[in-house]
Structure 1
Amino acid sequence: MTRRSIFMGAGLMLASMVFAPARAGAPPSPAGKEEAAKTLRVGDPAPPLGGVRWIKGTRVDGFKPGQVYVVECWATWCGPCRLMMPHLSQLARAYKGKATFLGVDVLEDGKDFKATSARVDAFVAEMGDQMDYSVSQDTEDTLVARTWFRAAKLPGIPATFVVDGQGHIAWLGHPMHLDVVLPAVLKGDFDARQFEDKLAVLEKTQGTFGTAIKQEDYKAALKAAEGLPEGEPAFASSRSVMRLIALVHLDQEGAERVYAEMERAGHANELLAGILMAQEGIPNIWRVRAAGLVKQAAKRKQDLYNLAEVQFKAGLKAEAVESIKAFLAYLKDKSAKEPGKAAALANYIRKAEEALRTYEGGPLAAPGAGK
């Protein structure tokens, strides 16, 4: 129910993953904290992380020669950041010993550093093994936000920096591209300029695709998606998602084949669920599948509110009622154990009770549910 846990919302932010990487916009720099003279580009030495507060995992005091690092800037309030964390954890495990993953919390709200630290610690604890890498919090004077994120002129978070074995920035951008970037950096044959040229082609295609989808011209959307070269790693995930979204409107057998391919590739996840839930006029089986994907990702009690909403929209009334009841029980238990938060939690409890009444009085299932 906080900014970080809302999955469903106006316009479904995650639907933008079809068209461009989803990011949360960064707040303006605090007065007196700008370092306008300094920029951070590919090829520059990686700035130090000195002074960050380590919360979880192995402390990193410097970038060792021969070791590759992935530095991820995130925030507790950033929905896209949270959605990328399970995949970052998968990569951290897959490349253990070859690449070190570091998450640095930046751009938090509030001026009370102690209170902010407590909020960050609670978030990290709640995420558990979905943040299966070293995690730290930016310094009180926002060193990392200034010398990494803002210096790189990136549009928002999550923001990823890959540091090569020589301690230089090999690449910076959105973490959704790490599956392609990281193996190439480890092999020593990554060409950042060439990769950015490919991303420019992808962005142009996404624009054409997005226009076609808005016009409900799904044949044109499919044509745009299939215009991307098959087998090119830089396009693979986006090409699959775009093909699937076009095909769920055009050809169910074709959509099933693409979905099966995405499952095998590990691309059927909560990000895809958000895109599927944004589609109108498609067979309900796709919403049911989306609900299943959200359920797989719902590791925290806070996620149950959003899970219930997705389940209800998919016509899974009994499951929605069960999820929202579990969420209510969590809120009431938290309120009892933490009296100081009772007033704030009361509003969430009220909203969850309203949702429960809606779900209990709603239809048994949406047309075609489970079919």
Structure 2
Amino acid sequence: MLNVLLAAIISQAPAATQAAPAAPAAPTTLALSIGSKAPIPEISDFVRGEKPTFFEPGKVYVIEFWATWCPPCRQSMPHLTKLAEDMKSKGVVIVGVSDEKVETVRTFLEKDEWKQKARYTLATDPDRSTYKAYMEASGQGGIPTAFIVKEGVVQWIGHPMEMDAPLAKIVDGTWDPKTAKQTFEDAVAEEMKAMGRQNDMTKAIDSKDWDKAVALIDAEIAASTGEEAMQSKVQKAQILLVAGRSEAAYALCAELIKEDPALRNF
């Protein structure tokens, strides 16, 4: 059974012994965070809806970064449509921003499906000026990501599917931005550490420094939980195999089977 599982790990998991591209260098400090003054979006092309006036007193703005090729972004669009319609009377303005070409976004939005599912203001930022001012400045690399702005100040940053409760509190004035800022910056700091570990891992694998690679993947396992921890353990098994440490690899596979009995089906 363990032989079969080891073969499956080698064939199905991402290759741990092929040096992955180095993760981009993470900034040591954030130029934009919760509590920062929000940059005025420099957007000229609004593909759906009218260009709003940024940032009017008394209104709450959601600047959400997305792309036509991004499945989670598309899944968020009906939810954003509902929020835009439900919260319009409370002064909430939602603007979706893609860094793709105008023609790409327009063609996508002209499809009947997205005429129905994406009924809020949508714009393009092909020179990525707004992306840089928000996403890069706040250490964000994945989309969709939303920024909630009130009175010209960033109040919240995160996934648009998780912003209902924060948005409601921001609108009614009960939001605590100081606590949100600490939580956000702690999460970004942990992500930066993970990026550093990944860069070190890439270098160790490339140089075949297996002791260091094992130590780094052990640190990754200790810092993660659930599915992420399981994936890191699978990566460790790969490293051990290629390093010629088959006995340790077998022992780890036995541990994986205990943690997830479904692996017995391999």
TM-score relative to the length of structure 1: 0.41
Q: Which runs of 5+ in 2 are unaligned?
A: 1-11, 13-22, 191-223, 232-261
SS at 2:89 equivalent = coil
C-alpha contact 1:154 1:173 (8 A) present in aligned 2: no
How do 1:1-371 and structure 2 match up within 5 A? 39-98=31-90, 99-106=92-99, 108=100, 116-126=101-111, 127-138=114-125, 140-164=126-150, 166-195=151-180, 208-210=225-227
CA distance in 1: counterparts of 2:179 and 2:227, whole angstroms:
24
**Aligned pair in 2 of structure 1 residues 161, 213: CA closer, same or farther (>3 Å)?**
same
Distance 1:36 1:147 in 2: 17
Q: Say what the alpha-carbon RMSD is for the aligned residues.
A: 3.4
Relative to the length of structure 2, the TM-score reads: 0.56
Q: Is the 8 A contact 1:42 1:170 kept in 2?
A: yes
Pair 1:44–1:57, CA change in 2 (3 A):
same
Indicate conservation of the 8 Å contact 1:101/1:133, yes or no.
yes
User: 1:2-51: CA deviations, max 9, x gaps?
Assistant: xxxxxxxxx9xxxxxxxxxxxxxxx979xxxxx99971111111111233
Deviation for aligned residue 1:210 = 3.8
CA separation of 1:119 and 1:185: change in aligned 2, threshold 3 A = same
Q: In the alignment, is the contact (CA less than 8 A) between 1:50 and 1:61 conserved in 2? A: no
Write the deviation string for residues 229-250 of structure 1: whole angstroms up to 9, x where unpaired: xxxxxxxxxxxxxxxxxxxxxx
Aligned residue identity for 2:52: V
Query: Which deviations, in whole Å up to 9, do the C-alpha atoms of 1:282-339 show, x marking residues without a partner?
Result: xxxxxxxxxxxxxxxxxxxxxxxxxxxxxxxxxxxxxxxxxxxxxxxxxxxxxxxxxx
Partner Cα distance (2:53, 2:167) in 1? 22
What letter matches 1:145 in structure 2?
Y
Deviations 1:186-208 (A, max 9, x none): 1112124535777889x9xxx65
Q: Distance in 2 between matches of 1:53 and 1:73?
A: 15
State whether residues 34 and 180 of structure 2, in contact with CA within 8 Å, keep that contact through their aligned partners in structure 1.
no
What letter matches 2:153 in structure 1? Answer: H
Q: Is this contact kept in 1: 2:63–2:95, CA < 8 A?
A: yes
Cα distance in structure 1, aligned partners of 2:42 and 2:146: 18
Q: Which ranges of structure 1 fall in alignment gaps of 5 or more residues? A: 1-10, 12-26, 30-34, 109-115, 215-279, 281-371
Cα distance, 1:46–1:196 mapped onto 2, change above 3 Å: closer
2:47 partner SS: strand
Cα distance change on mapping 1:38 and 1:61 into 2, 3 Å:
farther
**Matches of 1:210 and 1:130, distance apart in 2:** 31
Residue 156 of structure 2 aligns to a residue whose secondary structure is: strand
Q: Structure 1 residue runs of 4+, over 4 Å off? A: 35-38, 195-201, 211-214
1:182: Cα distance to partner? 0.4
Alpha-carbon distance in structure 2 between the residues aligned to 1:211 and 1:50: 37
Aligned-residue offset at 1:129: 2.4
- Mapped to 1, the partners of 2:28 and 2:107 lie a distance apart of 33
Q: Which has the higher contact order (CA 8 A, sep 6+)?
A: 2
Q: Distance in 2 between matches of 1:51 and 1:125?
A: 20
Q: How many residues align?
A: 172
Q: Compute the displacement of 1:141 (Å).
A: 2.5
